[in-house]
Structure 1
Amino acid sequence: MRILIRVVISAIALWAATAWVDGVDVTEGDGGKRALTLLAVAVIFGVVNAVLKPIIKTLGCAFYVLTLGLIALVVNAALLLLTSWLAEKMELPFHVEWFWPAFWGAIIVGVVSWLLGILIPDGDGDD
């Protein structure tokens, strides 16, 4: 159940990025198709983050320390661009134009996910 809640939170965060950032778009479909597209992209984004982010953090540990963690913004943008590329390969109508929309989109996805994670309990019992 926790994974499903996290996927829905990510989909809502991706929707916020498509609403607020020019260059991050769901390129076709009506409301239901867009929602399904965002859910599928949220799953892709979750897998990309789960697989690549720990590897990148381990290999780039010195850059994280040197930049006081600001390199994480660039890494998150790159992971959103990779998610866009994978979504296009899977013929999902999700597209991120280039680096700056990915940068701002990743910030919005991170902030919205964080806020929703605080507001919506995931049932882990750590309260």
Structure 2
Amino acid sequence: MGSFIVRVLINGLALWIASWLLEGLEISSSATEKAAANAGITEGADAAGIVLAYLFIGLIFGVVNAFVRPLVKILSLPVTILTLGLFTIIINAAMLYLTAWLSSFTPVHLTIDSFFWTAILASIIISIISLVAGLIPGARKR
């Protein structure tokens, strides 16, 4: 259970960095903004709401990667072998796009403006950050 929580935190951090670097990737929460405006609180509630929004999208992304990605990787194994593993980037972008679609049914939304460029670049950034964070002792279950 602790390993899953660490993965959600890493996913949230990776999504935050990717959305900071790429203009076409955005996470927004209408419920948090409305609640903060109604309460008259702007600074602390807004920051907490943003952090929770990234963690929520990180949770959705982790669930998608845990359940859908293995099936897609098995089904696309011949194409992945033919492209010498480069098709894995497309699979990662598709998982990010699936996360964006699933988040459209929640109060927190992940929006990607272009599947090809933004999703591909975001998947590369998220993969690199996850790889680096996986090297941290205790972040990976042994």
Under a length normalisation based on structure 1, what TM-score does the superposition of the two structures give? 0.90
Q: Matched residues in 1 for 2:50 and 2:112: separation? A: 15
Q: 61, 65, 68: which is aligned to 1:45?
A: 61
Does structure 1 retain, via aligned residues, the 8 Å contact 2:60–2:99? yes
Does structure 2 retain, via aligned residues, the 8 Å contact 1:37–1:92? yes
SS of alignment partner, residue 95 of structure 1: strand
Could you list the runs of 5+ residues in structure 1 that have no partner in the other structure? none
User: Structure 1's 108 and 62: CA in aligned 2 closer, same or farther, altered over 3 A?
Assistant: same
Question: Any idea what the Cα deviations from partners look like across 1:29-66, whole Å, max 9, x if unmatched?
Answer: 53211110111111111111111111111111110100
Q: How does 1:37-116 map to 2 (within 5 A)?
A: 37-99=53-115, 100-116=117-133
Does structure 1 retain, via aligned residues, the 8 Å contact 2:28–2:53? no
Does structure 2 retain, via aligned residues, the 8 Å contact 1:81–1:98? no
Q: Matched residues in 1 for 2:114 and 2:140: separation? A: 37
Same amino acid, percent of matched pairs: 33
SS of alignment partner, residue 23 of structure 2: coil
Does structure 2 retain, via aligned residues, the 8 Å contact 1:45–1:80? yes
Does structure 1 retain, via aligned residues, the 8 Å contact 2:57–2:99? yes
**RMSD over equivalenced CA pairs, Å:** 1.5
Under a length normalisation based on structure 2, what TM-score does the superposition of the two structures give? 0.81
SS of alignment partner, residue 111 of structure 2: strand
SS of alignment partner, residue 138 of structure 2: coil
Give the aligned length: 125
SS of alignment partner, residue 135 of structure 2: helix
User: Structure 1's 117 and 123: CA in aligned 2 closer, same or farther, altered over 3 A?
Assistant: closer
Q: Matched residues in 2 for 1:27 and 1:120: separation? A: 32
In the TM superposition, residue 27 of structure 1 has moved relative to its aligned partner by 2.9
Output the amino acid matched with 1:118.
Answer: L
User: Structure 1's 123 and 97: CA in aligned 2 closer, same or farther, altered over 3 A?
Assistant: closer
Could you list the runs of 5+ residues in structure 2 that have no partner in the other structure? 34-45
